Amino acid sequence: MPTGTVEDALELVLGAFARSEPAVVPTDTVYGFMAPLRNGAAVERIFLLKQRPADQPLAVLVGRPSELDQVAQPCPVARALANRFWPGALTLVVEARPGVGEVVGARDGTIGVRCADDELVRRITASVGPVAATSANLHGQPTPDDPAVIARQFVGTLVLDGGARPAPASAVVRVGSGGDVEVLRNGTIDPDQLSSAARAATTLPPPLTNDGENGVRS
């Protein structure tokens, strides 16, 4: 990436986190703000920079599908969807583990979790654990795909240059504790594929695979 190697980018991001500042990082979908879940001050800065209302929670990014259980309490259907479509452009809204929802501003006991298909994101989460994340834009406005535009909007914030990221945002699917599925936002994944994977889980829940192997990729 124009920023340099993955190692160079990782060093810059970890430096921002050490100052309790978030960073803007290119992902497999769009540019996004990121901050470690364990760094509440950096997470709060995301809300301030985006001018995001406190009742609009951030999402959580994990580096590997097996990390879903670190932040959430998924039902078999949620596990099956993660097993089928992660890493990739699918955000699962599931029951949060105690203490996690409060960090990202969730007030209903659920959080949105995604496993990005991106090496830098995997390196970041391997270093600091799951991160709070959201698109790099002012609240309610479109997300720029040009890092230079983002840098002008958020002067003083680290913005990594990974080139244009015109990919659409992820699909968002709410999975209730009983396995009911509701599509909250369409994305690049065919809704019929989502429905098929969810139906299959109600008869024989597949285990969540580890480390992106054994059929995690669609």
- pLDDT of 46 > 50? The answer is yes
Q: pLDDT at residue 212 above 50?
A: no
- Collect all residues with Cβ–Cβ distance below 8 Å to 9 and sequence separation of at least 6: 1, 3, 25, 120, 160
For residue 50, pLDDT over 90 is answered with: yes
Please give the CATH number for the structural domain made up of 6-203.
Answer: 3.90.870.10
Enumerate residues 6+ apart whose C-beta is below 8 A from 197.
Answer: 80, 81, 84, 85
Q: Are 151 and 159 in contact (CB under 8 A)?
A: yes
- Longest alpha-carbon distance in the chain: 51
Nearest to residue 43, comparing CAs of 90, 99, 93, 3? Answer: 99
Q: Count CB-CB contacts under 10 A for residue 211.
A: 12
pLDDT tens digits along 13-28: 999 999 999 999 999 9
Query: Residue 180's closest CA among 190, 161, 195, 159?
Result: 195
Check if the beta carbon of residue 22 is closer than 8 Å to that of residue 13. no
Please compute Rg for the chain using Cα positions.
16
**Residue range 141-190, pLDDT digits in tens:** 999 999 999 999 999 999 999 998 877 789 999 999 999 999 999 988 98
Domain boundaries, the chain: 6-203
* pLDDT for the residue 2: 53
**Are the C-beta atoms of residues 93 and 172 closer than 8 Å to each other?**
yes
Tokens representing residue 162 in the block: 């990974």
| pTM, to two decimals | 0.88
Percent pLDDT > 90 in the chain is 78
| pLDDT value of position 214 | 39
Separation of alpha carbons 177 and 85, rounded Å: 19
Q: Measured between alpha carbons, how far is 164 from 162 in angstroms, rounded to an integer?
A: 7
Residue 133 amino acid letter: A
The confidence score (pLDDT) of residue 203 equals: 65
Q: Quick: pLDDT tens for 68-96.
A: 999 999 999 999 999 999 999 999 999 99
